[in-house]
Structure 1
């Protein structure tokens, strides 16, 4: 790709981004769109002014100012700890790539341009002159690249260490902030053995009352999700039968007036009528009980008297057969994914293998659009094989085809990846919505690293060499990557602009809810709401941020021109995501910051890959000293990763028994423990949680189910429906009141 094509792509994306940002600043002020852009929080204020106002149709940057001024406590109150951790990942990227941009722009980039190593080389583009490939072999200037690599790696590891510690501290504070979570006292049991003489519920009760008699309280069996509504209907029918007095045949007055201790004392009443109802209700109860047993699953929620007891049971093997009586800490009530609790535990391994194979097949099939995208950027290399392309390469719009179109096509194809990976994670049998989304995030990240990064590099190089690209060993692959990565820098620059800059503008504009709301309100003339508040798409946004981090690290010394494009993206991402978290997205469940471990591992992988590629490239440039110096750097980075895993990772996998015991003692001394235990069965009522698809979250002052702290500045929550919430006047909404300025309203979500 040459410079005109890159400039064409930059112009297109800059125009789209500025247009979308301006359009958003206007649309967010319109009354019709208030629930699209303020679904999380509808502020209360003065009476709305319905008169025409020019400011309503003029672009403004007030949302940028409010996003910048919001504190971390405001973000926590609106989005929880996961939102804070996500923004910390963005802040980490801003810091490290600001350092890399300064170093590489003023030190590495001039050396690459003045290297004169590509003079007289065939098929050299002006963009190649800005890469490390233009440095002469054996040049002492390569020591500057090695020094820059050391500085960037040291800064990245230092920032990672402090951020890891901060996130671990926040997780510990999260436990202290919400001590009455029902999940602290509840354990999920799967793999309950089948018995021909007793139901699953009876088996669970007998097992835990036998082995945990002092701590076991009760349990709740899980029913098949599709049968929950039917069970509720059966319960209603049983209630009607039990409360309805049947009409009995007339009985002689002599028998009616006969003295009886069970008579009601009213004239005409028959004492034996109650006996008839009891008999009928008993038969009905047995019949419904049999139906309930048929719909039981081999899973249950077991409640214990203390946090420590639940913690011990969840981390202990209950049986000599590891496939039976499998226990784990229960998720929060609104986080439970009831459908997957009904999946037999002994079938999970088959599902996981099937999902693994399906993921590989999908990744292989995705090579077709990847190769097509690279074919668009390498049209000049395909002219010999396809003569009809010679006419296309001479057209005036060739810069649009080779510059903007490839990244746009790849971005469009990638839209299907997050929903598909979410489906794969659902089929794996995750028992909570948060772990399902995190699993989808891992799958999307691996897919992006392979299909967006490695596949584009290899397929683009294969097209350049017209099928003569061969790899016979891992050493050949590493050497090939070191040679080919700098040549793909221009394509990834356009991808950062298209998927990053323009992607942020579309994230801000919310085109699908916006158009749907217009059609629903204006065309179909519906009174109910089209827009339903959504949870934040970590499985879509976090992989994109980490992919751009991989691009930044691997290209920082090889092709540093990409760094300013990345830094612009991360700065805008910081503002856009803060705005969306405070106004658009709703928090229903949390992973308590577990996304940080994923970001840490991805960053370490990016650093080591960068160091390996740089070391091989130094060797290819006959700079043996610089190449040898990368070996200690690789070892130190790997040891740093091991240290962080030993120091912090256990805090993300397990809970500390010391904290659980101290919290139990405090609650027991204050008399709150018994009250908490008594409310546990109500919190995990499957009939309530699954029967109402628009289940409202509890208020913030009821910390049993809430993941948000109760702020002292007058902020409060409400479980009112969307229709019952008062909308603030347009001028106040356009100002986007912060958490300390307005009363927050929580809206329902499925």
Structure 2
């Protein structure tokens, strides 16, 4: 890619960013859009009315408010997971400010004056002029790059250690400051054996009374409720229809026929018609609930609650039976976090589901190579002219060729990547997770693997080394040298990718055009009523892998092509402001993992450092500086040892709370007068929503009519 093509891409993306941010600063002030840009404020009834003139004048006060918000504000509004996500941007800004100072002030000038390539007519020259490719082989200037490897690696490990330690300490402080949580006292038990003399509920009570007599409190069985869940969903839909119709004046209600699809039968008032249907569904729901309890349609799974956090932790971590497939225990998710569809799934079904998902992800990865290869074809005009010769005359137009090579490839790749996170969250649901947070974490890891392989490695291979794949497979020892040849050639593409996916992506995030369009159609054409909780859950599986990919690009090309660093720093700074605003006003936490996304960040950063060091080994070998190449190897070993130390020092604290923390909190709660009522509430905390007492119908005086469900 030539410099002028990069400038074209920069101009297009910068124009889109300014347009979208201006639209946001106006659209967010319109009263009708408050459910799009401040759904949390709607839920908390904090939306403010604005003057007519102020509503149509762009402003940046929201940036000031997002900047001034403290860490305590973020944790209060977005939970500890939201705080950890913001810390990813803080860490990125710190390390890449350091890398940027070295790269822009030191490495970039050295690369530019390297005299390996022709520097005449810069605007029509390749961006390789600013990369390490322009440094002559054997040049002593390469020792500056060698020193940069050690400086960057040392700074990254130091900052990563401090961040890991700080988040771990904050995690304990957050644990101490929060009120008692049901999931801290409860475990999920599956693989409950069938005993003919007892029901499963009696078996559970007998087992835990016998083996955990001092800590066992109560349990809640899991039932087959799929039919009840369908009835509950139907009841909610009918209730929304009734409420919508009641909100209209009587004269505006069109009478309809009560037969099939409203085509047959006598004409009736739609309110009476749907109210009658709602009553029937509620009656069926009530009968189904009673029948379920009477027939004992239990599944071999239960939520078992304990009198203390320590008792629950011990029961969840040690095997309960000599048969590892029976009495399988694990920490229970939060009641709001449970994904009920797979709790009753047997071991064999979960095992098969995981295998199917692995195969599906593999084939999706292979299939995605097609658009990646197509995108790289667009980035190379010579290849595109050979493949599509009828476009040869069009491609001779300078502006067209610059748009095609500088902007279109990254745009198309982003369009294809748009469908990956929803697909991965679907795979995570099929995989058998029992919690929405578990699904989110699994999807996040899969999207990260998919992104690093398909966006980074597949782009590098298809764009620069498709003819060298045989060499990679036949001579694995020479991989660092081969990567050193092919990776720098894709620096220009990844700069445009940062502009399109990063800059414009943040603008689309803040403008929320798609939710705005959906909200418009809901308000004007939908037959439903507004949801009680319209705030969406934060898409960690979509946004965290993107941030980590940019971290990989920063470490890799910070050494090879430092020109990418200013664009990355702009992304991290704008992303820091953008996501603080979104977490405060838009997204609502639907679960809390207490920072378990941070180890993903740590391991991906370590991978990025190791990859940068492997590239350095290869690049110094290619540039005929073998001594420098050999001395990078100790840095790789030190980085791996550092990762091993962090894994032993910090990771156990993220997987489980230590005994001293749990016991200390339990002793503090002994003095809490509200603990007795909290422990009593645990008996119903994990009841299936389909079995909860529900209410939809209202009588003529708007008095509520409840569906009473007996205690389990």
Which blocks of at least 5 consecutive residues in structure 2 are unaligned?
A: 234-285, 697-712
Distance 1:47 1:646, change over 3 A: closer
- Work out whether 1:594 is the aligned partner of 2:596: yes
> Which residue is 2:242 aligned to?
none
> Which residue is 1:312 aligned to?
314
SS at match of 2:304: strand
SS at match of 1:32: helix
1:522 Cα offset (Å) = 3.9
Q: For residues 343 and 693 of structure 1, what CA distance do their matches in structure 2 show?
A: 29
> Which residue is 2:370 aligned to?
368
> Which residue is 1:295 aligned to?
297
Q: For residues 693 and 464 of structure 2, what CA distance do their matches in structure 1 show?
A: 55
Structure 1 contact 35–531 (Cα < 8 Å) conserved: no
1:287 Cα offset (Å) = 12
SS at match of 2:303: strand
Structure 2 contact 114–135 (Cα < 8 Å) conserved: yes
1:202 Cα offset (Å) = 2.6
1:391 Cα offset (Å) = 2.8
Structure 1 residues 702-746: Cα deviation after superposition (integer angstroms, max 9, x where no partner): xxxxxxxxxxxxxxxxxxxxxxxxxxxxxxxxxxxxxxxxxxxxx
> Which residue is 1:98 aligned to?
97
- Work out whether 1:216 is the aligned partner of 2:216: yes
- Work out whether 1:206 is the aligned partner of 2:206: yes
SS at match of 1:218: strand
Structure 1 residues 143-197: Cα deviation after superposition (integer angstroms, max 9, x where no partner): 0001111111111111100100111111111221124111121110011123444
> Which residue is 2:492 aligned to?
490
1:687 Cα offset (Å) = 3.6
> Which residue is 1:747 aligned to?
none
> Which residue is 2:250 aligned to?
none
Structure 1 residues 298-320: Cα deviation after superposition (integer angstroms, max 9, x where no partner): 11001112222111100110111
Which blocks of at least 5 consecutive residues in structure 1 are unaligned?
A: 234-283, 695-750
Structure 1 contact 150–633 (Cα < 8 Å) conserved: yes
Distance 1:215 1:385, change over 3 A: closer
For residues 127-146 of structure 1, the aligned pairs below 5 Å read 127-146=127-146
Q: For residues 419 and 593 of structure 2, what CA distance do their matches in structure 1 show?
A: 24
SS at match of 1:327: strand
1:521 Cα offset (Å) = 2.4
Distance 1:524 1:386, change over 3 A: closer
Q: For residues 128 and 403 of structure 2, what CA distance do their matches in structure 1 show?
A: 20
> Which residue is 1:186 aligned to?
186
Q: For residues 528 and 291 of structure 2, what CA distance do their matches in structure 1 show?
A: 43
> Which residue is 1:741 aligned to?
none
| TM-score, scaled to structure 2 | 0.85
Distance 1:230 1:215, change over 3 A: farther
Distance 1:47 1:92, change over 3 A: closer
Structure 1 contact 109–560 (Cα < 8 Å) conserved: yes
> Which residue is 2:261 aligned to?
none
Q: For residues 201 and 554 of structure 1, what CA distance do their matches in structure 2 show?
A: 57
Q: For residues 626 and 23 of structure 2, what CA distance do their matches in structure 1 show?
A: 55
SS at match of 1:187: strand
Q: For residues 230 and 518 of structure 1, what CA distance do their matches in structure 2 show?
A: 28
Structure 1 contact 94–567 (Cα < 8 Å) conserved: yes
CA-atom RMSD, angstroms?
Answer: 2.8
For residues 715-726 of structure 1, the aligned pairs below 5 Å read none
> Which residue is 1:403 aligned to?
406
Q: For residues 106 and 587 of structure 1, what CA distance do their matches in structure 2 show?
A: 42
Structure 1 contact 218–302 (Cα < 8 Å) conserved: yes
1:118 Cα offset (Å) = 3.2
Structure 1 residues 638-662: Cα deviation after superposition (integer angstroms, max 9, x where no partner): 1111111111111011121122222
> Which residue is 2:177 aligned to?
177
Q: For residues 285 and 197 of structure 1, what CA distance do their matches in structure 2 show?
A: 27
Correspondent of 1:647 among 646, 649, 653: 649
Structure 2 contact 79–589 (Cα < 8 Å) conserved: yes
- Work out whether 1:532 is the aligned partner of 2:534: yes
Distance 1:693 1:585, change over 3 A: farther
> Which residue is 1:434 aligned to?
437
> Which residue is 1:511 aligned to?
513
- Work out whether 1:24 is the aligned partner of 2:27: no
Structure 1 residues 96-136: Cα deviation after superposition (integer angstroms, max 9, x where no partner): 11111111111111111111123599xx9431111111111
Q: For residues 381 and 295 of structure 2, what CA distance do their matches in structure 1 show?
A: 66
> Which residue is 1:118 aligned to?
117
Q: For residues 452 and 67 of structure 1, what CA distance do their matches in structure 2 show?
A: 31
Distance 1:7 1:287, change over 3 A: closer
Larger radius of gyration, structure 1 or 2? 1
Structure 2 contact 228–690 (Cα < 8 Å) conserved: no
> Which residue is 2:2 aligned to?
2
SS at match of 2:300: strand
Distance 1:198 1:79, change over 3 A: same
Structure 1 contact 520–530 (Cα < 8 Å) conserved: no
Structure 1 residues 173-228: Cα deviation after superposition (integer angstroms, max 9, x where no partner): 12211241111211100111234444322322222222223322221111124134
Structure 1 contact 201–221 (Cα < 8 Å) conserved: yes
For residues 440-479 of structure 1, the aligned pairs below 5 Å read 440-462=443-465, 471-479=473-481
> Which residue is 2:263 aligned to?
none
SS at match of 1:388: helix
Distance 1:688 1:177, change over 3 A: farther
> Which residue is 1:616 aligned to?
618
Structure 1 contact 426–436 (Cα < 8 Å) conserved: yes
Q: For residues 389 and 46 of structure 2, what CA distance do their matches in structure 1 show?
A: 67
For residues 27-38 of structure 1, the aligned pairs below 5 Å read 27-38=27-38
Number of positions where the alignment pairs a residue of Structure 1 with one of Structure 2: 640
Q: For residues 550 and 381 of structure 2, what CA distance do their matches in structure 1 show?
A: 26
SS at match of 1:679: helix
Structure 1 contact 228–687 (Cα < 8 Å) conserved: no
- Work out whether 1:630 is the aligned partner of 2:632: yes
> Which residue is 2:552 aligned to?
550
Structure 1 contact 228–690 (Cα < 8 Å) conserved: no
For residues 39-438 of structure 1, the aligned pairs below 5 Å read 39-42=39-42, 48=49, 52-53=52-53, 55-119=54-118, 125-229=125-229, 293=295, 295-384=297-386, 387-396=389-398, 397-438=400-441
Q: For residues 40 and 47 of structure 1, what CA distance do their matches in structure 2 show?
A: 13
1:290 Cα offset (Å) = 6.8
Greater Cα offset, 206-215 or 289-298: 289-298
Q: For residues 332 and 102 of structure 2, what CA distance do their matches in structure 1 show?
A: 48
1:232 Cα offset (Å) = 8.9
| TM-score, scaled to structure 1 | 0.81
1:517 Cα offset (Å) = 1.7
SS at match of 1:117: coil
1:460 Cα offset (Å) = 0.5
